[in-house]
Structure 1
Amino acid sequence: MDEATLARFADLVVGFGANVQPEQIVAIGAEIGKEHLARALAASAYRAGAKFVDVQYFDLHVKRARVEFSREELLPFVPSWYGERILELGRQRCARIGLTGPSAPGLLDDLDPARVGKDPLPFLKESGQVVNERTTNWTAVPCPTPQWAQLVHPELDPVAAYAKLCEQIVHVCRLDEEDPIAAWTARADALVSTAARMTDIGYDALHFTGPGTDLTVGLLPTSTWMAARFETVDGITHMPNLPSEEIFTAPDPLRVDGVVRSTKPLVVGGSIIRGLEVEFRDGRAVRIDADEHADVLRGYAARDEGAARLGEVALVDGDGRIGALDTVFFDTLLDENAASHIAIGSAYQFTAGEADHPRLNQSQIHIDFMIGGPDVDVHATPRGGGDRVPVLVGGAWKI
């Protein structure tokens, strides 16, 4: 990505995605190898009037050393100041920007998956708290790296692979539009409108059917569909994911039944889980199998009482730019916005009415995996019973 494009990308992320305000503190979370975008974002934030930019880098090689050599009972430990930093960002009404994309693909593949699953970092449970409290304006964006490019495009030489990945990120982030902000505003308007229709209809349950998938996900009486555009408690509008192509809500964590097969690989804690299949019974994941690294997800799902239950269900239509590329990015931000998905772990409080807040799933984790695609259809059961009705068929909305 050339310097001009990098600066344009940073300005889109800072000015539209996170919507950084003058004199805000801006926290940027990145990994080693993503310095180029982190620095461009810092420069853009200062141009926008930021009071201070705090960049924090996570080193997956250090995580590897911990998983390899630490005593197993110590692996779940996270120093208190990690979480306190996140909470303080909320208390001081800061902006947050996170950079996604694998920085060292396969680095943990030769380690014991069960041990890998016990170390939660870089995920912090406090992140969910500040999101629920809506105290920070934030966004997550993909950061291209040569290592990631080789994983996505192994058929190309390293230079061509990196150029291809950069080109795709420019496209899915709508940077190839003359006015990316106008393009994103139009797309966000469409998503928010669809989410509002889903909320107004008020289905009782969703039914996913496709190759290897027959899954029923119950919804709460006040399940509220959200999309694209969030607002902080202080009225700052921001776009939590850039790109974002989904609408999502909180399911009933006690009413999930059936079998679901992931339609894309899942990257968790540095390990790539392929061929994932999960069976749910009475809301709980009772079987987690995969062609590779199933033990990693099993470890996360055993973290606490809510880790094996759903905290999110999301629908993605065929009008987005990511799915049309027919590319597996091995990055949850991109892959989850290419296909409908579910997440085990914590729910977002604002995706249900106050009356149902006690019923929302709670957990230290939140892990999305993709279950949708053109051959996975979604039907719904109306509240009060009746025949199932189509909602999303062949990637097209039917509501």
Structure 2
Amino acid sequence: MNKNFLTNYVELALKIGINLQKNQPLVIISPVETADFTRKLVEQAYKIGASEVIVHWSDDFCKKMDFTYKDKPLFKCIPEWQFESLMYYADRGAAFLSIAANDPELLKGIDPEKIALSQKTRNIKFKPYYDKVMANEIQWNILSVPTLAWAKKIFKNCDNEEAIQKLWDAIIYSVKADTPDPIRTWKEHLNTLKEKMDYLNNKQFQELVITNSLGTNLSVKMPQNHIWASGKDITKNNIEFVANIPTEEVFSLPHKYGVNGIVYASKPLNYGGTLIEDFSITFKDGKIISFTASKGEEALKNLIDTDKGSKYLGEIALVPFNSPISNSNILFYNTLFDENASCHLAIGQAYPSCIQGGNNMDSDAMEKNGVNDSLTHVDFMFGTEDLNILGIDKNNKKENIFVEGNWAF
């Protein structure tokens, strides 16, 4: 890999992604397989001025062994220190950077009850931390680095070295680290996304009608005073950051009880090491009333059954079909990339920041305003090249938002 591109990527992660501040702690969550890149992050973070850099390592092999051999009741427990290790630094103003690079089929063949139990237990235990993330109380960022199992899933016919190289090339291109001035390129990109965001916020459409040839026919009502956001977020301490690198989306929250119709997924969903493929979900008054999947249906069921809120949506995100990741024609089997190649919805928790006053709402106020609360937040993709989205305003005036997969304005 070109050393300059790697340096650019590290700089983007720290300066655009989390926007690391001088004397600020940094927590990195990383697979052991990406250790070389993580060490570059650690070194550069200290050079920028981090007061402390803490790395939480994970390992796919050990995770699979746990799920293979551990007794099911043990997945009901998470040691207190694992939760405290995140909250300790979150409460002290740390920034958090996660590397998402797992084997898409790591848990293939594993007892789905173990997987569901583990995910629900973790979601319950870590909810106070996730709430901080969802409310933008801390700077956070997710990016990715190639791992062998992931690369081989995408580039099946390549040898190991070539598969890794092809995935590196695709990632570097999608995050714009191969441009002459990546920091400037990103600032220009974020300004473009802001233009779309501002337009939608000014319009305040009350309803979106979504259709395509897959069979999607979905009506999505938007809450009063909803807010569209884009790639750049800001913490309560007024520090700007970019949660996802790459990012191509403009997103908001649907009204919890205002979604009706059917949506067909346009890409597989990698959920907790299990692939869910060729699936559709039907809604009535916001609630999921039925679903189908050709593969991974039990995993989809377990996701939907996480809690009461996981039967409703928490996010709608708009991404043009004519965008860098989509144009690469690569199915990444990684939500970070696939969701930025396609319009998507999220099952579960809404971002409180996507409605006026949301970060200060208690659970009763969230419910009253149609803001979904849940233990989980899982994106799935529905965008296609023939996707049409119609916006309807308070005067019942209709306007095209997407035509043939792309922005209409």
Q: Is the TM-score greater than 0.5?
A: yes
Residues in 2 aligned to 1:152 and 1:351: alpha-carbon distance in whole angstroms: 34
State the partner residue of 2:87: 87
Are residues 1:142 and 2:120 paired? no
3-state DSSP class of the match of 2:206?
Answer: strand
Would you say the 8 A contact 1:191–1:245 is kept in 2? yes
Would you say the 8 A contact 1:204–1:219 is kept in 2? yes
Would you say the 8 A contact 2:8–2:182 is kept in 1? no
Residues in 2 aligned to 1:289 and 1:76: alpha-carbon distance in whole angstroms: 28
Residues in 2 aligned to 1:81 and 1:288: alpha-carbon distance in whole angstroms: 38
Paired residue type of 2:161: V
Pairing partner for 1:125 from 120, 124, 127 = 127
Displacement after TM superposition at 1:303 (Å): 1.3
- Deviations along 1:97-122, whole A, 9 cap, x unmatched? 111122x3322111123432222187
3-state DSSP class of the match of 1:303?
Answer: coil
Residues in 1 aligned to 2:6 and 2:122: alpha-carbon distance in whole angstroms: 25
Displacement after TM superposition at 1:276 (Å): 1.6
Displacement after TM superposition at 1:80 (Å): 3.5
Paired residue type of 1:321: P
Matched residues, number: 397
TM-score in terms of structure 1 length: 0.94
Pairing partner for 1:259 from 251, 259, 262 = 262
> Which of 328-337 and 277-286 deviates more?
277-286
3-state DSSP class of the match of 1:135?
Answer: coil
Displacement after TM superposition at 1:18 (Å): 1.0
Pairing partner for 1:379 from 383, 387, 390 = 390
Judging changes above 3 Å, is the alpha-carbon distance between structure 1 residues 25 and 381 closer, same or farther for their aligned structure 2 residues?
A: same
State the partner residue of 2:403: 393
Residues in 2 aligned to 1:198 and 1:362: alpha-carbon distance in whole angstroms: 24
Would you say the 8 A contact 1:128–1:348 is kept in 2? no
Displacement after TM superposition at 1:327 (Å): 1.0
Would you say the 8 A contact 1:114–1:295 is kept in 2? no
- Deviations along 1:203-244, whole A, 9 cap, x unmatched? 112122111211112110111000011111222111111111
State the partner residue of 2:297: 294
Unmatched runs of 5 consecutive residues or more in structure 2:
359-364
Would you say the 8 A contact 2:31–2:58 is kept in 1? yes
- Deviations along 1:109-161, whole A, 9 cap, x unmatched? 11123432222187643343112443322211111122211111112222211
RMSD of equivalent CA atoms: 1.9
- Deviations along 1:35-89, whole A, 9 cap, x unmatched? 1221111111011111111111223334334434445455344334333333333
Residues in 2 aligned to 1:292 and 1:190: alpha-carbon distance in whole angstroms: 37
Judging changes above 3 Å, is the alpha-carbon distance between structure 1 residues 290 and 47 closer, same or farther for their aligned structure 2 residues?
A: same
TM-score in terms of structure 2 length: 0.92
State the partner residue of 2:362: none
Residues in 2 aligned to 1:112 and 1:292: alpha-carbon distance in whole angstroms: 15
Which structure's residues are more often helix, by fraction?
2
> Which of 285-294 and 224-233 deviates more?
285-294
Judging changes above 3 Å, is the alpha-carbon distance between structure 1 residues 323 and 175 closer, same or farther for their aligned structure 2 residues?
A: same
Would you say the 8 A contact 1:279–1:287 is kept in 2? yes
Displacement after TM superposition at 1:164 (Å): 0.9
Are residues 1:306 and 2:314 paired? no
Residues in 2 aligned to 1:208 and 1:132: alpha-carbon distance in whole angstroms: 26
> Which of 72-81 and 308-317 deviates more?
72-81
Would you say the 8 A contact 2:135–2:351 is kept in 1? no
- Deviations along 1:259-294, whole A, 9 cap, x unmatched? 111111110111111112111122111223211111
State the partner residue of 1:116: 115
Residues in 2 aligned to 1:84 and 1:284: alpha-carbon distance in whole angstroms: 34
State the partner residue of 1:274: 277
Residues in 2 aligned to 1:375 and 1:80: alpha-carbon distance in whole angstroms: 48
- Deviations along 1:302-338, whole A, 9 cap, x unmatched? 1111011101000002453111111100111110010
Residues in 2 aligned to 1:109 and 1:147: alpha-carbon distance in whole angstroms: 13
State the partner residue of 2:349: 346
* Percent of aligned pairs sharing the same letter: 27
Judging changes above 3 Å, is the alpha-carbon distance between structure 1 residues 280 and 244 closer, same or farther for their aligned structure 2 residues?
A: same
Judging changes above 3 Å, is the alpha-carbon distance between structure 1 residues 80 and 205 closer, same or farther for their aligned structure 2 residues?
A: farther
Would you say the 8 A contact 2:325–2:340 is kept in 1? yes
Residues in 1 aligned to 2:297 and 2:32: alpha-carbon distance in whole angstroms: 27
Paired residue type of 1:41: L
Paired residue type of 1:380: G
State the partner residue of 1:67: 67
- Deviations along 1:337-384, whole A, 9 cap, x unmatched? 100000001011100112763431111100000011212211122224
State the partner residue of 1:12: 12
Residues in 2 aligned to 1:288 and 1:59: alpha-carbon distance in whole angstroms: 33
Pairing partner for 1:165 from 136, 143, 167 = 167
3-state DSSP class of the match of 1:150?
Answer: helix
Residues in 1 aligned to 2:116 and 2:279: alpha-carbon distance in whole angstroms: 16
3-state DSSP class of the match of 2:267?
Answer: coil
Residues in 2 aligned to 1:95 and 1:254: alpha-carbon distance in whole angstroms: 34
Would you say the 8 A contact 1:101–1:330 is kept in 2? no
Pairing partner for 1:357 from 341, 366, 383 = 366
3-state DSSP class of the match of 2:309?
Answer: coil
Paired residue type of 2:366: H
Residues in 1 aligned to 2:285 and 2:18: alpha-carbon distance in whole angstroms: 38
Residues in 2 aligned to 1:74 and 1:299: alpha-carbon distance in whole angstroms: 18
Displacement after TM superposition at 1:4 (Å): 4.1
Judging changes above 3 Å, is the alpha-carbon distance between structure 1 residues 228 and 305 closer, same or farther for their aligned structure 2 residues?
A: same
Unmatched runs of 5 consecutive residues or more in structure 1:
none
Paired residue type of 1:13: A
